[in-house]
Amino acid sequence: MGRKSDAGDRILAAGAKLFGQRAYASIGVAEISAEAGVPKGSFYYFFPSKQALALAVVNEHWKHQRADWLRILTAPDSLAERLRALFVSTAEVQKQAVNGTGAVVGCLFGNLALEVSAQDDPVRARLQEIFDEQIDIVETAIGAAVEAGELTVPAPRQTAKAIVAQIEGMVLFAKLFNDPGQLDQLWQNSMRLLGVEGARAAV
Amino acid sequence: MGRKSDAGDRILAAGAKLFGQRAYASIGVAEISAEAGVPKGSFYYFFPSKQALALAVVNEHWKHQRADWLRILTAPDSLAERLRALFVSTAEVQKQAVNGTGAVVGCLFGNLALEVSAQDDPVRARLQEIFDEQIDIVETAIGAAVEAGELTVPAPRQTAKAIVAQIEGMVLFAKLFNDPGQLDQLWQNSMRLLGVEGARAAV
């Protein structure tokens, strides 16, 4: 037991760890409390429910990832370089997870998105907002590159969404095959989605 | 209780239904047996474990989906038309799910892939094989189109994998937003991954 003042933080960290490793539905308040080293009663002092903790974990994760994405995707480089930096950073997170836990953890948002099935789940609503915001950030980066005359993109929003979908799909493969190297294709695939370096139609 | 001879089929159907709706980890043999209308003891007459049932469900699902993919992707049409037919079929499956249960069920393989965390899980190994086979089927379709002079693709395997990743990513969005219409972009995104109809680099 640590000081009460950091018990909330430890519960948050325990939730982030467990939700990142296993199915949300299979993890209970008792296990989270044990992982955090707090009595179960303490849990409810900080969070009214497991769902409330999940929302807090998701918001905390996005706060950091959002800052990373904004920093990387607004850097004074070409769009190609900015995307490359984003994917290097994405792969690095998964490589660190492999070094730490032996397993690619994948994307917390994607993992939860495939699991929250109730239509009125506030976690689902929050994940929708976060993916929309990820697409916004990529769309803005594309827009800046178009404005700078780097390339032309007929449908920036659709392209941004395709890139975020490509990230989720390749992260799924990285997790399934426990191989962060799967993410090495993300940059080239995204260049193709942007119409750069694509294969040429022969006819 | 139905006849004993179809109890195994009913357990399989119950597993397919429940695994398609909720987290694998949250579903037990008792619930599957109740859904199938068989005593729990009968379950173990047909399947040694929940994991064995999951493998059987995955194999049954892939048997049908594989037949669909092969039929559609070897049809005597252009690659663009074959891919369009595949994505129409993919969207149709999700639209039927919405009509039947009110929810986009997503991809059984993707849902399970994000959940099976144990590295030695036989379900995980089977999912790896299935995704590899999906990529094989798309790669073969691309190869046939290249051979027919329809287009040139410098890295058919990587492109096939990017297309399957794109399907998984967009199906995730369809499930999260409960909107099969998200899949309408799959064809255009795949054309871009193939280097067809992409945006043009200005420089």
**B41 and B94 housed in the same domain:** no
What CATH number did the domain enclosing A64 receive? 1.10.357.10
Q: How far apart are CA A170 and CA A163, in angstroms?
A: 10
Q: How far apart are CA A14 and CA B71, in angstroms?
A: 48
Cα nearest neighbour of B110 on chain A: A172
Give me the residue from A25, A169, A200 closest to B169, CB to CB: A169
**B29 and B64 housed in the same domain:** no
A90 assigned to some structural domain: yes
B142 assigned to some structural domain: yes
Choose the mutation target among A114, A132, A142, A171 for the interface with B, i.e. most B CBs under 10 Å: A114
Q: Tell me the two tokens of residue B15.
A: 């597993």
Question: pLDDT tens, A73-117?
Answer: 999 999 999 999 999 999 999 999 898 888 898 999 999 998 886
Which is more confidently placed, B82 or A115?
B82
**A73 and A24 housed in the same domain:** no
Q: Tell me how many domains chain A contains.
A: 2
Contact B178 A127 (CB under 8 A): no
Q: Tell me the two tokens of residue B173.
A: 């969005």
Question: pLDDT tens, A128-184?
Answer: 999 999 999 999 999 999 999 999 998 999 999 999 999 999 999 999 999 999 999
**B130 and B32 housed in the same domain:** no
Confidence of residue A196 (pLDDT cuts 50, 70, 90): confident
Q: How far apart are CA A62 and CA A126, in angstroms?
A: 10
**A119 and A188 housed in the same domain:** yes
**A72 and A109 housed in the same domain:** yes
Q: Tell me the two tokens of residue B92.
A: 């149709």
Q: How far apart are CA A159 and CA A147, in angstroms?
A: 16
Closest listed residue to residue B97, CA positions, set B41, B17, B156 = B17
Question: Residue B85 above 90 pLDDT?
Answer: yes
Tell me if the pTM is above 0.90.
yes
Q: Which structural domain range is residue A175 located in?
A: 56-193
Q: How far apart are CA B108 and CA B59, in angstroms?
A: 11
Q: How far apart are CA B97 and CA B175, in angstroms?
A: 11
B113 assigned to some structural domain: yes
Q: Are A153 and A146 in contact (CB under 8 A)?
A: yes
**A82 and A114 housed in the same domain:** yes
Choose the mutation target among B18, B27, B117 for the interface with A, i.e. most A CBs under 10 Å: B117
**A150 and A77 housed in the same domain:** yes
Q: Are A74 and A66 in contact (CB under 8 A)?
A: no
Q: How far apart are CA B185 and CA B163, in angstroms?
A: 12
